[in-house]
Amino acid sequence: MKHFSMNHIGLAFDATGVIYKSRKGIPRAKEAFDLLLKHSIPFVILTNASDRTEAERANFLNGLMGSKAITPEKVVQGHTAIK
């Protein structure tokens, strides 16, 4: 079995159900994202939603978690690819 180091890991999360559900933050989501930052594990947040800019979406998600972990560059929305 091949050994993988943390340098070879990156994660993608769907926003709904991971960060929030019914416009309420998921318990311990902030802690999880803080750990990713602490260990320099890259991640992105995926969503089909396209009603906000990436910066607005990052602010919305951070507000739900009480965090600053999510930057606009980490948000990939349904319309992001066509920009």
Please give the share of the chain, as a percent, with pLDDT higher than 70. Answer: 89
Q: 25: domain range?
A: 6-82
Q: Are 31 and 58 in contact (CB under 8 A)?
A: no
Please give the share of the chain, as a percent, with pLDDT higher than 90. Answer: 67
Q: What is the pLDDT of residue 1?
A: 56
**Residue 21 lies inside a defined structural domain of this protein:** yes
**Residue 20 lies inside a defined structural domain of this protein:** yes
CATH number of the domain enclosing 49 = 3.40.50.1000
Q: What is the pLDDT of residue 50?
A: 84
**Residue 36 lies inside a defined structural domain of this protein:** yes
Q: How many domains does the chain have?
A: 1
**Residue 67 lies inside a defined structural domain of this protein:** yes
Whether this model's pTM surpasses 0.75: yes
**Residue 1 lies inside a defined structural domain of this protein:** no
Q: Cα(74)–Cα(70) distance, rounded to whole angstroms? A: 6
